[in-house]
Amino acid sequence: MWRNLLLLSSFCFVSSAQADLQHYVASLDNSMWRISENSPIECRLEHDIPDYGKAIFTSTAGKDLNLNFTLDMWNKPDQITDAHLISKAPQWRPGVNAKEITKLQYHKQFNGEVPKKAAWSMLSELSKGMQPTFYYADWYNQSDKVAVGLSAANFGGQYRQFRSCLSTLLPYSFDDIAFTVLNYEEGGTQLTRFSKHQLSRVQEYLSYDSDVDLVFVDAYTDSYGGRSTNQRVSDKRADNVADILVASGIEQSRIHKTGHGERRHVASNQLTEERARNRRVVIKISKSI
């Protein structure tokens, strides 16, 4: 297998008399890694590739630990392009064998993306001092080959900070709280125990996400009691939830609250369980992309 990989590398990637290799990689002196986002909702590790663009590792809050890698190019591909991602030793580590990480395809006018498993492999190889490198044919001249490398120089310290950030990510994402239904105990403004937990998740997430544009708070009651009384109860529920969200850092002007009283039921009011579903506040959140 290793012999086949060597033959593949020799045939496809290494410059020859018929093909020139354009190699983009930071030198020891100008290799820069930095943490550009460090919060419980997003961790981002970036690396500049001189004359080419930058490499970006991103992980966001969610149930499962995720990782996305983007090769952000100054000049996007002009056509669909096959590429190979190889972990190779830098020039100052002669004699260390290279290995293939994955094969991928660049899409026209899009940045390069790497699957989650391969992205973790890239971080692992960088931590070993290796140089993950993308090889592909120049989309303007197929006889020319391009190599784009990520330097491991100055990587270790920033990688430790990145891993520390990963450990603080919230175990739920924006999608998990963007539509949240809160329910109330019968005959009052007290949330159920589960709904208190749900509201605390919304409150915590919003305290970190500055991209939230609008928050809609719609409050409802069951049909027990007078209509005017139910309207006042729903208004109070909407006010209480809005006040909690304002305390989380959301500007009052971005919160739209409405009390609907006993209108717009989602269940019958004949059974206790059905009335409990109607006593609710619905929080809907939108954010800029």
Task: Read off the pLDDT of residues 7-23 as tens digits, 9 standing for 90 and up.
Answer: 344 434 444 433 578 99
- Percentage with pLDDT > 70 across the chain: 88
Class of domain 2-166 (CATH, top level): mainly beta
3-class DSSP assignment, residue 204: helix
- Which pLDDT score is estimated for 267? 59
Which of 113-117, 235-239, 265-269 bottoms out in mean pLDDT, i.e. has the lowest? 265-269
CA geometry: angle 124, 125, 126, nearest 5 deg: 90
pLDDT tier, 233 (very low <50, low <70, confident <90, very high otherwise)? confident
Whose tokens are 């059974």? That residue is 271
Domains in the chain: boundaries: 2-166, 174-287
Rounded CA-CA distance 187/184 in Å is 8
What average pLDDT is seen over the chain?
Answer: 87
Q: In CATH terms, are 2-166 and 174-287 the same topology?
A: no
| pLDDT mean over 103-131 | 94
pLDDT tier, 36 (very low <50, low <70, confident <90, very high otherwise)? very high
Rounded CA-CA distance 75/63 in Å is 35
Token digits for 232?
A: 């006042």
* pLDDT tens for each residue of 73-83: 999 888 889 99
Q: Which residues contact 254 (CB under 8 A, 6 or more apart)?
A: 212, 213, 214, 215
* pTM as predicted: 0.85
Of 88, 82, 99, 85, give the one whose Cα is nearest residue 137.
82
Q: Please give the residue that has the higher pLDDT: either 186 or 259.
A: 259
* pLDDT tens for each residue of 136-183: 998 888 888 999 999 999 999 999 999 999 999 999 999 999 999 998
- Which pLDDT score is estimated for 151? 97
Neighbours of 117 (CB within 10 A): 11
pLDDT tier, 5 (very low <50, low <70, confident <90, very high otherwise)? very low
Most confident of 67-71, 220-224, 278-282: 67-71
Q: Which residues contact 276 (CB under 8 A, 6 or more apart)?
A: 183, 184, 186, 222
- Which pLDDT score is estimated for 169? 97
Q: Would you tell me which CATH number, out of the four given (3.40.50.720, 3.40.50.620, 3.30.1330.60, 3.30.360.10), belongs to the domain 174-287? A: 3.30.1330.60
- Which pLDDT score is estimated for 7? 36
Of 78, 23, 27, give the one whose Cα is nearest residue 48.
27
Of 62, 47, 72, 277, give the one whose Cα is nearest residue 162.
47
